[in-house]
Amino acid sequence: MLVNPARITADVVEANEFPEYSQRYSVWAVPKTVINDRVQFEGALPEDAVMDYLKQAVGETDQPPPAEGE
């Protein structure tokens, strides 16, 4: 069982079925993750990199996560 005290929600959208979302978020690769319409990234990332993006999205840091390979 997953516990979610912050009440985080997620939506999964098939880009081919909803081209308006693909255009709105400039989807060129999948998976494409958009957090609070503020932070975006593409591809499957390690958990620590995803956490960096989450912290940026909620304002815990102003620093963007390091680029791949850094």
Burial of 6 (0-12, 13-18, 19+ CB in 10 A): exposed
pLDDT tens figures, 56-68: 888 877 666 666 5
pLDDT tens figures, 33-53: 998 888 999 999 999 999 999
Instruction: Write down the pLDDT at residue 8.
Output: 78
Domain boundaries, the chain: 19-57
pTM over 0.75: no
Scan for tokens 């939506």, then name that residue.
Answer: 11
Instruction: Write down the pLDDT at residue 57.
Output: 87
Instruction: Write down the pLDDT at residue 46.
Output: 94
